[in-house]
Amino acid sequence: MTSGIVSYGIYIPQFRIKVDEIANTWGKKGKEISRSLGVVEKSVPNIDEDTVTIGIEAAQNALSRSGINPENLEVCFVGSESHPYAVNPTATIIGQLIGMSNNYLAADLEFACKAATAGIQATVGLIESKKIKYGLVIGADTAQSRPHDVLEYTAASGAAAYILGSDSKETIANILDFTSYSSDTPDFWRREGIRFPSHGGRFTGEPAYFTHVLGSAVKLLHKTKLKPSDFAHCIFHMPNGRFPREAAKRLGFTEEQLKPSLIVDDIGNPYSASSLLGLAAVLDIAKPNEKIFLVSYGSGAGADSFVLETTENIKKNKNKAPLYSDFLKYKNYISYTKYLRLEKKI
Amino acid sequence: MKVAVLGAQTTKFGELWNNSPRALLKEAVSGALEESGLKISDMDAIFVGNMLSGILGGQEHLGALVSEELGVSIPSFKIEGACASGGLAMHQAVLSIISSYYEKVLVVGIEKMTDHKPEETTSALMGAGSDEERAAGATFPSLYALIARAHMEKYGTTEEQMAAVAVKNHYHASLNGKAQFTFPITIEQVLNSPCIAAPLKLLDCSPVSDGAAAVILSAESFALRNKKQNVKPVWITASQVATDSLGLAQRESLTSLKAVVSSSQKAYQQAGIKAKDIHVAEVHDCFSIAEIIAMEDLGFYHKGQAAKNIFMQKTRLGEKLVINTSGGLKASGHPVGATGVKQVVEITHQLQGKAGKKQVKGANIGLTHNVGGSGATAVIHILRNI
Amino acid sequence: MTISPVKIWRNQKKIQKLIGKEGKIVSHSLVYVPPIGFENEAPYPVVLVQFKDNKRYLAQLTDWNDNNLKIGQTVKAVLRKTRNAGDEGVIPYGIKFKPI
């Protein structure tokens, strides 16, 4: 039996703040920062939004796209770095409010930006062992950053929800194989009870992102005996605009293969939703029988890689829920002071 | 029905830092008793109107507090209906007399609001509305603002017309020694005052106040046996209550308070009169728009006609029907539980010719209109001196 | 007063059915003076909305611009955080309306 994606849904908050706007406050040159980080503006959640509310929007979009009854979902995993509670699962609050029954396994996952893809691997296991028929996995974040820190330019907000199943009449993209590469690499961390994360500066590059992303990718390509040219699309976790482009290049993927996935160019880095929003943007434009390569990355560190293949069903329900391009239409730019108010820094 | 009003008194309303609730109630009660010529030991029961003693002061069990403070052990009851608490206490007192259970009763309305920060008071007052409204952060002014917006949309009522209500009531209050605000204001000042909940501005809204008001009621037979010289007896000839949904979302109309319409129609019937027979009325102007809608719901004007008539000063002292000679809630002040009782005090003094500079000449029939929340409770009393 | 988690629990079950419902603004007011728990959001609009089934509901408007504050504006019910629960309380989620 092959399991795969039955439906997907996303949500991006409407506020945006430009890199220029942030840079001007700190007396820096926005253009230089944009150039070095590859980010122009980022999404900002409203004061009344959090991981639960944006997760619900994405999950409801996934449900409308597929017409699946939420009572048939038997798993709800939510991966995030900004769960509203340290103890009290986001997954059950979302599960309840989207109309799930009581017959499901719920868990909140954490692994920096790759918590949700870990959830996908676990859910595939439950489906292929015939324990469940449908599972919901959500990656959602309303990321926080310290004022004047470089992360302030990229830490954004977004949610992506995936309903997984195994009925070939329903799956729009099969998950052919996956692997995971993990090690103890403290490149980016946040202690319990502390509000803002800390990072190791340039340590987040080669020893962290690249070692794990490339390590996981090479391992999977080897395992599946596939080459980059076998794929129509690729997606890499996007902490900024440069890292995914560099990773693609080093592995041998082309710019055309990578381009549709680069949501970082529009909204910055929504952490646990980054690679999954990239995947959604790709699924929006993918044709049947195309292979997709996805690698997520979580600091600490680890990378999950996936080989997916779209099916004939990919076009079926596409327009029954908002596409990634639809979310780019409703943008509302805010000032740095409003940004600080919304993020409750003042 | 005829229930006698033997004595009526209020304290000054305002920010009364030095006066505790006990001091306020003693002042109002002793004043009312003196007017009546009776002693507290003559009373058969006490009816207390109050809304916030628990949530703000931590004190429930107000019936017992009042009887203790007055030095008696007679039956004593706290009655609560948000801003209609005072009117409801009057109604219960009236019921006790016309049922012949009690013969002489004391009604006292009391509220102490200024001991607390404005945010605490604003939040406490939201207890008058529904849970849905509290969850939305819909402050009490915002509920009447929603009503105002709907009235403006439906009838073309303007912010200037609403401001005219406040201007008139401040003028009346300048003639009232017990009012919280005795300075006149202009329409310009109202329009320029800070916005509280659009379109209602600060001067469209009644203030936060302390105060107490007391009334002594008796059965008709007792009053006739104990007629006082040189005092015109005043009778309550109607006392009606109606309720409606707690929250605005469940109302049939946003521009009319059904509870006021039905209770006033029943009151006119009970008193054997029509709306046009009223000479003077105390109307619940918690917000300027409330007086406009009340004038329509009470049958004084057709729907959509009240605002322009008030703007043309048709309800000011000197006119045929005079509204809120006390200054209303806006200028006299609105210590929530006291208001419904104070309204009866004002009408009583008008009908006795004791209203001083704000006297409506030849007033024989008066009406009080007391509303709880955004219209969930309405209490109407009709009084006459003939 | 702190909000009871039991009340939040019961209320969230009740409002689940409203999420996604569409309606029109019947009246609106921009609140400048907030009560306790809503300080961070002020000024915010409260709106009375009529759903297509003629039932009405009162809630805040979110993700709004000045030109959304008009009678007749179409809106959709969404789930958002409502009152500020402080650092330790259970977070209340509830219905707000978003212009569409």
Please, what are the domains in chain C?
A: 5-99 (2.40.50.840)
Torsion over CA of B284, B289, B295 and B299, rounded to 10 degrees?
-110
Same structural domain, B61 and B165: no
Whether C13 has its CB under 8 Å from any CB of chain A: the answer is yes
- Looking at B174, B197, B225, which one is the last position of a domain? B225
Q: Residue C1 pLDDT more than 80?
A: no
Q: What is the CATH number of domain A173-315?
A: 3.40.47.10
Name the minimum distance, in Å, from the CA of C82 to any CA of chain A: 7
B270 within domain boundaries = yes
> Cα(A16)–Cα(A35) distance, rounded to whole angstroms?
18
pLDDT value at residue B337: 97
pLDDT for C3 beyond 90: no
* Structure confidence at residue C14 (pLDDT): 86
How many B×C Cβ pairs under 8 Å? Answer: 102
Residue A220 has pLDDT above 70, yes or no: yes
Buried b (16+ CB within 10 A) or exposed e, B11-35: bbbbebeebebbebbbbbbebbbeb
Question: Could you tell me which residues are beta bridge partners of residue B105?
Answer: B45, B217
Cβ partners under 8 Å of residue A168, min gap 6: A2, A311
CATH number at residue B219: 3.40.47.10
pLDDT 10s digits, A78-118: 999 999 999 999 999 999 999 999 999 999 999 999 999 99
Let me know whether B98 and B193 are in one domain.
no
Could you list the active site residues of A? 81, 113, 237
Q: What is the CA radius of gyration of chain C?
A: 14
Q: pTM score, two decimals? A: 0.92
Q: Cis peptide leading into B199, omega within 30 of 0?
A: yes
- pLDDT score, position B354: 94
* B101 in the same domain as B20: yes
Q: Is B89 left (phi over 0), alpha (psi -120 to 50) or beta?
A: alpha
Quick one: CA dihedral A283, A66, A328, A294, positive or negative? negative
In this structure, is residue B125 part of a structural domain? no
Helix (H) or strand (E) holding A7: strand A4-11
Q: Are B307 and B157 in contact (CB under 8 A)?
A: yes
C100 interfacial to chain A (CB closer than 8 Å): no
What are the tokens at B207? Answer: 């203030």
Token readout for B118 is 């404005």
Same domain (yes/no): B288, B345: yes
Cβ separation C19–A341 shorter than 8 A: no
C48, HSE (Cβ side, Cα atoms, 13 Å): 24
Report yes or no: A174 at the C interface, CB cutoff 8 Å.
no
Q: How far is CA A43 from CA A18, A237, C97, in A?
A: 9, 17, 20
Q: What is the DSSP letter of A272?
A: G
Whether B198 and B219 map to the same domain: the answer is no
pLDDT at A2: 92
Q: Which domain holds residue B280?
A: 137-206+236-384
The yes-or-no verdict on residue A346 having pLDDT over 80 is no
User: Are residues B371 and B251 located together in one domain of the fold?
Assistant: yes
Q: What is the pLDDT of residue B230?
A: 66
pLDDT at A82: 95
Which chains reach chain B with 3 or more Cβ–Cβ distances below 8 angstroms? C
Contacts of C71 in chain B (CB under 8 A): 149-150, 153
Smallest Cα distance from B19 to chain C, Å: 26
Write down the domain spans for chain A. 4-171+330-342, 173-315
User: What residue type is A161 in one-letter code?
Assistant: A
Q: Among partner residues B132, B135, B139, which is closest to C83 by beta-carbon distance?
A: B135
Indicate whether B230 belongs to any domain. no
Do residues B280 and B322 make contact, with C-beta atoms less than 8 angstroms apart? Answer: yes
Return d(Cα A341, Cα A281) in angstroms, integer: 30
Give the integer Cα–Cα distance in Å for A34 and A23: 10
pLDDT in tens, B48-88: 999 999 999 999 999 999 999 999 999 999 999 999 999 99
Q: Is the pLDDT of residue C87 over 90?
A: no
Q: Where are the alpha helices (DSSP H) in chain B?
A: 21-36, 53-57, 62-70, 85-98, 118-125, 131-135, 140-155, 159-173, 187-192, 220-225, 258-271, 288-297, 306-311, 328-332, 336-351
Determine the pLDDT at residue B73. Answer: 97
End-to-end alpha carbon distance in chain A? 53
Mean pLDDT value across residues C45-52: 97
pLDDT in tens, A330-345: 899 999 999 999 988 7
* Interchain proximity A46–C63, CB inside 8 Å: yes
Percent of residues, chain B, with pLDDT higher than 90: 97
Is B259 contained in some domain?
Answer: yes
How far does B292 lie from chain C, in Å, by closest CA?
18
Does A56 touch chain C if contact means CB atoms closer than 8 Å? Answer: yes
Is the CB of C63 less than 8 angstroms away from the CB of A85? no
Q: Which fold has domain A4-171+330-342?
A: Peroxisomal Thiolase; Chain A, domain 1 (3.40.47)
Using the Cα atoms of residue C19, residue C20, residue C23 and residue C27 in order, give the sign of their dihedral.
positive
Q: Which positions of B are catalytic?
A: 83, 334
| Portion 25-64 of C in contact with A at CB < 8 A | 40-41, 60, 62-63
Assess if residue B231 is contained within a domain. Answer: no
Determine, yes or no, domain membership for B27.
yes
Q: Give chain B's residues under pLDDT 50.
A: none
- Residues on chain A touching C62 (C-beta within 8 angstroms): 46, 48
User: Total domain count for chain B?
Assistant: 2
Label the pairing between strands A75-79 and A135-142: parallel
CA distance A29 to chain C (A): 30
B268 contacts B369 by C-beta, under 8 angstroms: no
Residue of chain A nearest C93, judged by CA positions: A53
Report ipTM (2 d.p.): 0.95
